[in-house]
Structure 1
Amino acid sequence: MKIALAQLNPTVGDLRGNCQRILETVQRGEQAGANLILFSELVVCGYPPKDILLREGFIEACDRAVAHLAGQIPSEIGVIVGHPTGQKLPPGRIANAASLLYEGQVSACVHKLLLPTYDVFDEHRYFRSAELSSIQPVLFQGLKLGLHICEDAWWGQPDTFYHNQPVELPDPVQILAEAGSDLLINISASPFEIEKRERRHQIVSSHVDRFSIPYLFVNQVGGNDDLVFDGHSFVTDQHNRIALQMPGFKEDLSYFDTEHPLDVEANKVEASSREEQLFEALVLGLRDYMQKCGFTDCVLGLSGGIDSALACTIAAEAIGAEHVHALLLPSRYSSEHSISDSLELVKNLGLDYEIIPIDEVHRAFENLPVIGDDLKGQPAGLADQNLQARIRGANVMVRSNRHGWLALATGNKSELAVGYCTLYGDMAGGFAVLSDVFKRDVYLVSRHVNQRAGRTIIPEHILEKPPSAELAPNQVDQDTLPPYDLLDEILKGLIEDELSVQSLSKQFPAETVRWVARKLDQNEFKRRQMPPGIKLSGRAFGSGRRMPMAARFQWEAE
């Protein structure tokens, strides 16, 4: 049997558009002689649909779309699609389903058993788990297909934030294998995280080790809101060799022939560097967010620092330099190189830009009778520094409103974690490009940009100079923050590993750990108000990390 794996980029809610893309792909697969074509989880409605699933009429529309799709597919080819369904379920209950479309109808339908509720997932909010009696192979052209959906492959994983059902449920893959499946097929919408690709291969490898059955994994690709799906679909043969490896971060249609497998040596998994993965995910996430929300252009403040330089470069790669508009907004405290470095960057990228000094507006605020005395009492103090950031933010937002451009916020994860950012200032915008990128990774990805281009994009001086907000005389970040290498290690422990202050104080200076932990907890209110960003790590700020604002974190022994 020749099986096509279709790695598509669906748009959430766009049933007509998604089904059209499916039909176009089926046509290509048919022309290539495929007998069966596999699509990803919930491809009909896009993933994650979130509370659209609760809207009146949506599930019925999805079921109609699947039935209509079945009628348009050539009768000699089978197609497996993921979709939500209310068919054959009690009123008001829905399932996360995968259906085999064949000979003009839905010939088989399976439901997802394991519904994830960790991190960004909340599937128990919407779906009903499969009945255990329904977990059995799907028959197609003489083969038993062990069809299952995403999380059903992750049974028994020991990770803190991976599958951990409150009710003990059996292993769906084991049930399907022991029922005589000839092929194991997992259709997924598995979001990108650093090292997630390797983890998927480990999980599939463990299944093949146990059952010696070929395993086909099909993943969604593309960005939807804060999630990026990296694709990287693959096939592992019964001897646990990679028989097919599809590319990452782009759509693709590839083929696996059960009678004539591909050259396994030609399909070895090549590991991508951390910086390459981050760059690809950031570019795809921003591009898709803009396109799917209807933005053609974006605008951002360009400070001469590393964060805005990288954000600007990502935007130029995502949508084309001609669609990126940079504002250079020097204050009285700006160094000469903040302008010269920014000008070198815009020249290297070929961007549209404006230079708009903010000092005149800043002085006007100082001289206003309502707040002038307060600012004069502490020149370059915190209130004055935040005022400058808000003047800059206002400039960015004015152009966003005037031209319909998406305003980009450029703060990184390290700054957002400890509140080294200004609400309605540098946090203003519609999308926070670097919100899940630690400062050390900002430098790593920036150097990758230059290496990838084979020339200087981000000026070397930007990469080398001490980071500074330039909101006070001779200011540098390390006047206020611990060294970024130390800060990022502590933040990783607190956020991604959920370690205690006590544990981290055994590795790092206790006073610094306590300071970082206090700042992290105190600034949750700021992060609640930041724009959406792109999830890259196991624990990103946003929908997957739900921390209280009005709370005291004082249970640990001093």
Structure 2
Amino acid sequence: MNVSSVVERKDKAEPTLPRTDARIEASAPRAAEAISRSLMQSGEEFRVAIAQIRCEPGCIKLNTDKIISKIDEARSKGAKLVVFPELAIPGYCSMDLFFNADFIRENIQALQRVREASHGISVVVGFVDTDHNGARAGARPILYNSAAIISDGKIVAIQDKSCLPNYDIFFEDRYFAPPRARRVTEVAGLKLGVEICEDLWREGYPEDVTADLVSKGADVVVNLSASPFHLGKLATRKELISDTSRSQQVPIIYANLIGCYDGYEGDVIFDGRSMFMTKGGRLGGIARSFDEELLIVDLLQAKEIELPEVREVEELHDALVLGIRDFMARVERLGVLKRGQVVLGLSGGIDSAVVAALAAEALSPDRVLAISMPSQYSSNETRSDAEKIAENLGIRLKTVPIEETFKRWVTELKSDPDIEALPEDVSEENLQARIRANDLMFYANKLGGVVLNTGNKTELALNNCTMYGDTVGTFSVLGDVDKDRVYDLARFINERAGREAIPLSTIERAPSAELKPNQIDAHVMGADPQVMAPLVREIIEQRLSLRQAIERFG
């Protein structure tokens, strides 16, 4: 039985894959190194396809169908090698599904489908490998975050991830074991050194995986990644890959995931931007951001290209649009929505205006229902702006006044002797927010949609919101966007539209929750939220101490 076959365990409970062992490695021709060197120096064409795709957590068949489709496309375009992202078969964010034996078995079986589809081409694809022999009796099998190296219908090697991150949004130590032997594998005349995501990010780890692969004779390093997005990540990532390829004098093929997926700490966005870096550290190709693409590069003849310039606000805008679009696609796959629409409260303020604009772009205007819920404290200006925003964006607007409902609730509640003599305070303000939340949820449930939350990160961090009120929503679009950047987004949306999609009056007016007469958010919070946003950002993201914050911001 050769290395590409499925090995039956004695209990026949689960297929496992044989690993490349020393005998197989020793049987490779001694001329392999010379063949690889000759190929790299020949100047002939060697096309590589980098498959930047969505890999939905838990959707093994969906992912595998897409992988096979991309293999076929890569083959039709003359590629000799196609590379997929980390854990492409099961989906990177599958979380505790990794503990489900049936899920792992299905992932192993899916790999066999990929193997069968690989005739005439080489494939590197991420999956979860298992080791039953190393597990204690009755315990879960040992799991590995692995890459299968497949060539012309045969699985020739499996390489495990070495550096397992366990910080921020990552919990890989929870699921995966440290790697087994690390080797270089020859396919299609090349000696491939395969690593997985964090293996490239050397800081904080005891070994340099890329350097080790090069020392073992790798002609090319292939990195399968699920590297999440944050502002500035592209420059950091490109610099790392460029520096590594230049210092190690090795080309790097980098395949990154794209999409928005549910994680332990909220939804996580992956921006793609897969790339090929020449051994001199020059960029030889880069895929689009926030979109699927089969990037074709010539390993031997790639010409240097410039990294496209992208403004920070444009990155942020495109990431949020992707987040809304992918979230809704995920919900719709569950079959729980009647119409697949979103509902949001449109006050005429800047936060809800930006969310409405992003949703209209992500989904289409006809799938966005905005509800204006004015009270006796709502100004004519915000009421008018809500109407203008809906008209400018082409979305539906319903006006559902809450004044009478609010008065009735207050009257009934204040009939309690323990309450009737107490003065008005934040209780009445919060009640208005909760009435609005009930209205939004009612419309969403009745019409078959989900509520988009419109709160921003600065105000959430400072508790300038109402629990069970304006915190309502299935998806928090601006939950990781600071208030100053909300204004940047509004201006960018207008700039891209070439018109005032969001009225200038909405952008320039001092923000107010309008829960009592003449209310201004800056007075409630003690400072303008735009001014406070950079301070809050530094405290949360850079862990500034009080002393450091005072020194930096005065």
TM-score under structure 1 length normalisation: 0.86
Question: Aligned letter for 1:205?
Answer: S
Alpha-carbon distance, 1:375 to partner: 6.8
Equivalent of residue 254 in structure 1, options 280, 286, 295: 295
Query: CA offsets, 1:433-486, max 9 Å, x none?
Result: 100000000000110001011111111110010000000101010111222243
Classify the secondary structure of the residue corresponding to 1:256. strand
1:218 aligned onto 2:255: yes
Note if contact 2:374-2:401 (Cα within 8 Å) is conserved in structure 1. Answer: yes
Alpha-carbon distance, 1:47 to partner: 1.7
Aligned to 1:93: 142
Question: Aligned letter for 1:93?
Answer: I
Aligned to 2:238: 201
Aligned to 1:125: 174
Change (3 A) 1:125 1:199: same
Note if contact 2:273-2:286 (Cα within 8 Å) is conserved in structure 1. Answer: yes
Taking the aligned partners of 2:486 and 2:455, their CA distance within structure 1 comes to: 10
Change (3 A) 1:460 1:89: farther
Change (3 A) 1:36 1:341: same
Note if contact 1:365-1:371 (Cα within 8 Å) is conserved in structure 2. Answer: no
Note if contact 2:221-2:250 (Cα within 8 Å) is conserved in structure 1. Answer: yes
Taking the aligned partners of 2:395 and 2:178, their CA distance within structure 1 comes to: 51
Taking the aligned partners of 1:307 and 1:492, their CA distance within structure 2 comes to: 18
Query: CA offsets, 1:258-312, max 9 Å, x none?
Result: 2322x31xx2102311110110000001110111111521001001100000011
Aligned to 2:271: 230
Question: Aligned letter for 1:440?
Answer: D
Aligned to 2:325: 287
Taking the aligned partners of 2:90 and 2:539, their CA distance within structure 1 comes to: 36
Question: Aligned letter for 1:155?
Answer: R
Aligned to 1:22: 67
Classify the secondary structure of the residue corresponding to 1:314. helix
Q: Which runs of 4+ in 1 moved over 3 A?
A: 369-380
Query: CA offsets, 1:132-157, max 9 Å, x none?
Result: xx21212112211111000000012x
Alpha-carbon distance, 1:240 to partner: 1.4
| Pairs within 5 Å for 1:150-549 | 150-156=197-203, 164-165=204-205, 169-225=206-262, 226-261=267-302, 263-264=303-304, 267-294=305-332, 295=337, 296-369=340-413, 377=421, 381-481=425-525, 482-509=527-554
Classify the secondary structure of the residue corresponding to 1:96. strand
Aligned to 1:42: 87
Taking the aligned partners of 2:389 and 2:534, their CA distance within structure 1 comes to: 30
1:115 aligned onto 2:152: no
Taking the aligned partners of 2:413 and 2:518, their CA distance within structure 1 comes to: 29
Change (3 A) 1:378 1:281: farther
Classify the secondary structure of the residue corresponding to 2:544. coil
Alpha-carbon distance, 1:56 to partner: 2.9
Question: Aligned letter for 1:477?
Answer: D
Taking the aligned partners of 1:424 and 1:302, their CA distance within structure 2 comes to: 17
Classify the secondary structure of the residue corresponding to 2:202. coil
Change (3 A) 1:474 1:375: farther
Taking the aligned partners of 2:255 and 2:356, their CA distance within structure 1 comes to: 33
Alpha-carbon distance, 1:76 to partner: 1.2
Question: Aligned letter for 2:258?
Answer: V
Alpha-carbon distance, 1:129 to partner: 1.2
1:68 aligned onto 2:113: yes
Note if contact 1:44-1:66 (Cα within 8 Å) is conserved in structure 2. Answer: yes
Classify the secondary structure of the residue corresponding to 1:480. helix
Taking the aligned partners of 1:379 and 1:196, their CA distance within structure 2 comes to: 51
Question: Aligned letter for 2:408?
Answer: A
Taking the aligned partners of 1:371 and 1:185, their CA distance within structure 2 comes to: 71
Alpha-carbon distance, 1:81 to partner: 0.7
Taking the aligned partners of 2:123 and 2:191, their CA distance within structure 1 comes to: 15
1:53 aligned onto 2:91: no
Note if contact 1:81-1:100 (Cα within 8 Å) is conserved in structure 2. Answer: yes
Question: Aligned letter for 2:327?
Answer: Y
Classify the secondary structure of the residue corresponding to 1:86. strand
Note if contact 1:245-1:268 (Cα within 8 Å) is conserved in structure 2. Answer: no
Alpha-carbon distance, 1:29 to partner: 0.8
TM-score under structure 2 length normalisation: 0.87
Taking the aligned partners of 1:38 and 1:231, their CA distance within structure 2 comes to: 13
Bigger Cα displacement from structure 2, 82-91 vs 235-244 = 82-91
Taking the aligned partners of 1:442 and 1:288, their CA distance within structure 2 comes to: 21
Gaps in structure 2 of 5+ consecutive residues: 1-45, 136-140
Greater radius of gyration (CA): 2
Question: Size of the alignment, in residue pairs?
Answer: 493
Task: Give RMSD over aligned pairs.
Answer: 1.5
Change (3 A) 1:137 1:371: farther
Classify the secondary structure of the residue corresponding to 2:551. coil
Taking the aligned partners of 1:79 and 1:207, their CA distance within structure 2 comes to: 23
1:147 aligned onto 2:194: yes
Note if contact 2:244-2:281 (Cα within 8 Å) is conserved in structure 1. Answer: no
